[in-house]
Amino acid sequence: MYDIVIIGAGPAGLTAAIYARRASKSVLVLEAMSYGGQIINTPDIENYPVAAHISGYEFATKVYEQAQALGAEFIFEKAVGIKDNGAAKEVVTTDNTYECKAVIIATGSENRKLGIENEEKLVGRGISYCATCDGAFYRNKKVAVVGGGNTALEDALYLADLAETVYLIHRRDAFRGDDTTVNALKQRENVKFVYNSTVTKLNAEKRLTSIEVTDKNTGETQTIEVNGLFVAVGRIPENQNFAQLISLDEAGYIKAGEDCITNVPGIYAAGDNRVKNVRQLVTAAADGAVAATEAVKFASAH
Ligand code: NAP
């Protein structure tokens, strides 16, 4: 029986592990993939206090090592459910069941898909959800980025240094992401803005060759030749496996406030998978601290 099981080894889960271990609780962190969460795809973090520049991978590795050194146990299995037996909970993974007093769900989110034909088939053959992972394959080639948030803007800026041309396709004429990045993109001669438009078709032979883009206002379509399409249209919280037990909002986020407390006593939510206004590295880490503090109190009392 662990005191606390943490589901997810992103910044929220890892920070929770550090806090819970410092409170002398036994801690198991379950992770489906590798530690770090989505931050490992960020080439340069500039907005986390202390380090003016640090790569997402280096950041995640340091926090992972810090949690390990404090005695947190890590098992790389996907959690597929939680059973609530009152004071004791069971976290069910694809391989095992782990008993504990308190659970912190820090599962983050996954890439939203465009949902158009051939999208899945062309992943790795022209379609990518990670510019920093795959951008180097498109040196001096033509690429498009779809989306209007900070991820799309930063991806476009990153790709502008590598690719011959970057088309930035957004479904509105105003960006959701930061003006600073929009202004930086406007300085780049190889970045072409395609407003009020969505990608409606993917044309491919063995690999992606071009995309059809439809203007939402006029209904007109144009075909843009590209070697790569980087999809950055937001993320979907990974809470489906816990939906029977935990209350979610209509978008699938866990209904937990700044105290990270869910509808089930002893189960907490931390990071991007809960309802919140600011989804940043620093707020994910803050959630980890808050959720762990609550979980420690619960585990001590049961
Ligand atoms: P996001 O802010 O939710 O933006 C998603 C974008 O995709 C929006 O512009 C949205 O359009 C568009 N979109 C959604 N569904 C679409 C569809 N089916 N077809 C076409 N376009 C679609 O997501 P994000 O950019 O991944 O950012 C997530 C969070 O992380 C944000 O809070 C962001 O600020 C943060 N972030 C921060 C940094 C940083 O601080 N350096 C870097 C990256 C991300 P609409 O605008 O019309 O809704």
The residue contributing the CA closest to ligand 1 atom 30 is 279
β-strand pairing of 228-231 with 79-85: unpaired
Confidence of residue 212 (pLDDT cuts 50, 70, 90): very high
Tens-place pLDDT, residues 160-205: 999 999 999 999 999 999 999 999 999 999 999 999 999 999 999 9
Q: Give percent above pLDDT 90 in the chain.
A: 91
Confidence of residue 132 (pLDDT cuts 50, 70, 90): confident
Residue in 233, 272, 281, 283 to alter for ligand 1 test, most ligand atoms within 8 A of Cβ: 233
Looking at residues 237-241, what average pLDDT do you find?
A: 96
Q: What is the DSSP string of 270-286?
A: -STTBS-S---HHHHHH
Q: Give the span between the Cα atoms of 38 and 113, in whole angstroms.
A: 16
CA angle 252, 255, 259 (to 5 degrees): 140
pLDDT for 43 beyond 80? no
- Which residue stretches of the chain are H helix? 11-22, 56-69, 131-134, 150-160, 179-186, 281-301
The residue contributing the CA closest to ligand 1 atom 13 is 233
Q: What are phi and psi of 63, to 5 degrees?
A: -70, -40
* Stated pTM of the model: 0.79
Is 130 annotated in the active site?
yes
Is the Cβ atom of 199 under 6 angstroms away from ligand 1? no
The answer regarding whether domain 127-231 maps to CATH 3.40.50.720 reads no
Provide the pLDDT for residue 74. 98
Looking at residues 59-65, what average pLDDT do you find?
A: 98
CATH assignment of 2-111+235-301, among 3.40.50.10420, 3.50.50.60, 2.10.260.10, 1.10.287.10: 3.50.50.60
Boundaries of CATH 3.50.50.60 in the chain?
A: 2-111+235-301, 127-231
Question: Hey, which bits of 173-276 come out as E strands?
Answer: 191-194, 197-204, 208-215, 221-225, 228-231, 235-237, 267-269
